[in-house]
Amino acid sequence: MAVATAQTVQEDKISADSIDRLIAAYGGRAPRYTSYPTAIQFTPAITARQYGAWLKGLKKESGPLSVYLHIPFCDRMCWYCGCNTAVVNRRGPIEDYVARLLGEIDLVAATLSERLAIGAIHFGGGTPNMLAPGEIGAILARLAERFDITPEAEIAAEIDPCTLTEQWVEAAAAGGMNRASLGVQDFDPEVQKAINRIQPYETTARAVQLLRAAGAQSINMDLIYGLPRQTLEGLEKTIDMALALGPDRLSLFGYAHVPWMS
């Protein structure tokens, strides 16, 4: 569980010319920036005492918190993935992790100098929908018990459409989830075979339908360019197919070669 003060981000539409200028100015290789603080800043040098002092320093006047919860489990390993996750086929490790996560929520709340509000919650992974419906519901309920969830809070989860169930969506929505990010990457079957992620188009379409029916206000789809066996024409087709499902946003990521996963 990671906690930070939330910042409001205004998402304005920009012109194609502006996009071209941004690419020209900033295109190129750069370090991965997936979290704040970044991964290299999580070291043994940060002691429990220091972390506790940081938590105590959080105040209401700084605004609502943004909370990230990592669910490090998958039912298979995608060969392009460099995330902190592990393949599990038993409920035991997941149940143990959830128990400790609930305990950490209690511990963080007890360490704060005052009861604070949360304006954003994000479940990442891994695969958050590896949690049982009751587990995602219990985590959201515990957060609501220990913090004040703002009425306009953005509550999001990264989702694998292949393992998504109606029961999971209903439980998450009942707890307040209103945003979702679907892993897609590419719809070409040959590319999917090359990255060990078989996901028919109909599976993604069903996930979108379930989420919309549950009231999801924003749906994102993650795509990757530069994948093995991917072509420019194939990527363009994937983008068109994704847009046909009516997502609110598409996120494009460059392929990062992680040979230790293959």
What is the pLDDT of the chain when averaged over all its residues? 92
pLDDT category, 23, cuts 50, 70, 90? confident
255 falls within a domain: yes
How large is the average pLDDT for residues 51-70?
95
The pLDDT assigned to 257 comes to 76
How far is the C-alpha of 130 from the C-alpha of 89, rounded, in Å? 10
211 falls within a domain: yes
How large is the average pLDDT for residues 164-169?
98
Tokens encoding 65: 């918190």
26 falls within a domain: no
Instruction: Name residue, tokens 């093995």.
Output: 228
Contact 113, 59 (CB under 8 A): yes
The 3-state DSSP class for residue 157 equals strand
Contact 253, 222 (CB under 8 A): yes
How large is the average pLDDT for residues 124-151?
98
Containing 185, the helix (H) or strand (E) segment is: strand 179-185
**Domains: count for the chain:** 1
DSSP secondary structure code for residue 154 in this structure = E
Contact 161, 129 (CB under 8 A): no
How far is the C-alpha of 169 from the C-alpha of 140, rounded, in Å? 13
190 falls within a domain: yes
**CATH number, position 135:** 3.20.20.70
pLDDT category, 9, cuts 50, 70, 90? very low
177 falls within a domain: yes
6 falls within a domain: no
- pLDDT at 163 exceeding the cut of 90: yes
Residue 185: count other Cβ atoms within 10 Å of its Cβ: 23
Instruction: Name residue, tokens 């078989």.
Output: 198
Contact 1, 112 (CB under 8 A): no
199 falls within a domain: yes
181 falls within a domain: yes
The pLDDT assigned to 4 comes to 72
Host domain of residue 121: 45-261
